[in-house]
Amino acid sequence: MLIGDIISKTANQKKEKTAAVLEDRKITYGELEKESNKLAHGLIDLNIKPSDMVSIMLPNCLEFLTAYLGVIKSGATMVPLNISFKTPAVEYILNNSEAKIVITSKKFLPLIKESNLDFLENIILVDGDKDDGYILLSELKNQKTSLPELQNIDQEFTAACLYTSGTTGKPKGAMLTHHNLIFDTQKTIEHLKIDDTDRYICVLPMFHAFAETVCILLPLFLGAEIVIVDRFLPEKVLKTIQEKNVTFFAGVPTMYSALLNVKNKEEFDLSHLNLCISGGAAMPQQTMENFEETFKVKILEGNGPTETSPVAYVNPVDGVRKTGSVGLPIPETKVKIVDEDDNEVSFGEIGEIIVQGEHVMKGYFKMPEATKKTLRGGWLHTGDLGKMDEDGYVYIVDRKKDMINVGGMNVYPREIEEQLYKHPKIREAAVVATKDELRGEIPKAVIVLKDGETATEREIQKYCMQYFANYKIPKLVDFIEELPKNATGKIDKKSLSDL
């Protein structure tokens, strides 16, 4: 079974139900089915064949849903582009993926036109007019409204090629099959015990794996309603949750922190909100506790890399929710903690988290050596350092690449960050490595203070001395107005490090 088959079946059962809404615009399941099928036929008319790459560069909008489904239903592979990318990144991904078509808006045309692209055949605009000289989405759509009958394509074909952030080199295209995404979506639904009565807000960027599975495929599989927010503005998000009676919110930790810092947050009624999911990065426990106390709603922390489609583990809805843990593996998923030689370590011991399951990617596009290394032994090596307790709960300690080696002693930035978030003057904090002639590396803390607060480097160091050995104390403390973040809201540690 393919993704298009599942969504078409759901859409035909719920034709009149709202599939998605963005401010005063909405689209029903019947309309979404017709428009995405017409686009799929239109792409086939442009000679798009199974496994050809078609890229989407759009902000959060109704058109993204139509494009996403239309590309996949045509048999092509969907390649989303981060809308914050500049020309070099756009050029690299479009060339590496060999994308034949880009579906975009006039806003992003300059980036694409500035790129030297070897494979691109057509640009499709969701806006604009005939005078722009490009194919318009409104005119491309073939009038056939049935789901295309695809020949010689099965569930092991690549539905999406999602490029990783490239923090350790060039971005890698994780090839996720129809089965990978179907499995991950269905098992996440089973794990979270959710249904079509929930209303899901999508404020995470739609080009990201987290949003595409949890905020798009998950509700569309169920036949639930998606409330789209075009960009993350904290007060606007709270207002939308209130006015649209949102019941399910998924976000990264910095989003929760930002919502807590809305000055008039107590004025918003979030009583319909009954479940929040946090992923993408470690959730500071102080932030979680403050959010739950303020808004009276439970947060379930989970995680998983893009390569697991991406949900791999989440705290249970009804079972024990363990502080600091990303929870239990979703159904039919195996997780182990291993040492440098891939030997499984004891409970409570730190090692690399590796995952095995039907949601694990089939590999990196055109990168056989990277694929072999990451999937060695039949397990996905996540690059996350963590541990597991005797009940099977997974704890992420830090990314392997973020660990700081202070004269041979391992320092995990997350441990220090957790304590910094408990300081009454600190709003946000990140700990990174910086060079040191004597010890090789030392920890540096980069801190954003709460409004109206002041602090000194020595004050922060003395605070840390109460909790950590000397080698873990940040030897440098920088105070800045805002931590740099990428388009998904994750703190960009790479730009903070002096290495």
pLDDT of residue 136: 93
Q: Is the dihedral of CA 181, 310, 386, 259 positive or negative?
A: negative
Percentage of residues of the chain with pLDDT beyond 70: 99
Q: Is the dihedral of CA 220, 70, 330, 259 positive or negative?
A: negative
**Domains of the chain by range and CATH?**
3-153 (3.40.50.980), 186-399 (3.40.50.12780), 404-495 (3.30.300.30)
Residue 114 has what DSSP assignment?
A: H
Q: Which of 370, 455, 380 is nearest to 180 (CA)?
A: 380
Question: What distance in Å separates the CA atoms of residue 124 and residue 238, rounded to the nearest whole number?
Answer: 34
Which residues does residue 192 pair with via DSSP β-bridges, in sequence order?
A: none
pLDDT of residue 306: 96
- What does the pLDDT look like over 239-298, one tens digit per residue? 999 999 999 999 999 999 999 999 999 999 999 999 999 998 889 999 999 999 999 999
pLDDT of residue 92: 95
pLDDT at 331 over 90: yes
Determine contact, residues 428/453, Cβ cutoff 8 Å.
no
Percentage of residues of the chain with pLDDT beyond 90: 91
Average pLDDT of the segment spanning 324-340: 97
Average pLDDT of the segment spanning 405-431: 95
pLDDT at 176 over 90: yes
Residue 266 has what DSSP assignment?
A: G
The region of weakest confidence among 297-306, 356-365, 398-407 is: 398-407
- With bands split at pLDDT 50, 70 and 90, how would you rate the model's confidence at 231? very high
Triad 214, 215, 221: Cα angle to 5° = 75
pLDDT at 167 over 70: no
- With bands split at pLDDT 50, 70 and 90, how would you rate the model's confidence at 166? low
Average pLDDT of the segment spanning 113-126: 95
In 46-106, alpha helices (H)? 62-73, 87-97
At 103, list the tokens: 């579906």
pLDDT of residue 169: 67
Question: What distance in Å separates the CA atoms of residue 38 and residue 43, rounded to the nearest whole number?
Answer: 9
pLDDT of residue 494: 87
User: Burial of 170 by CB count in 10 Å (0-12 exposed, 13-18 middle, 19+ buried)?
Assistant: middle
Determine contact, residues 259/237, Cβ cutoff 8 Å.
yes
- What does the pLDDT look like over 30-54, one tens digit per residue? 999 999 999 999 999 999 999 899 9
Tokens 């109704």 locate to 62
Task: Please tell me whether residue 426 adopts helix, strand or coil conformation.
Answer: strand
User: Burial of 202 by CB count in 10 Å (0-12 exposed, 13-18 middle, 19+ buried)?
Assistant: buried
Angstrom distances, CA of residue 249 to CA of 58, 63, 278, 284:
22, 21, 9, 18
Question: What distance in Å separates the CA atoms of residue 34 and residue 332, rounded to the nearest whole number?
Answer: 34
pLDDT at 142 over 90: no
CA 368 from chain center: how many Å? 24
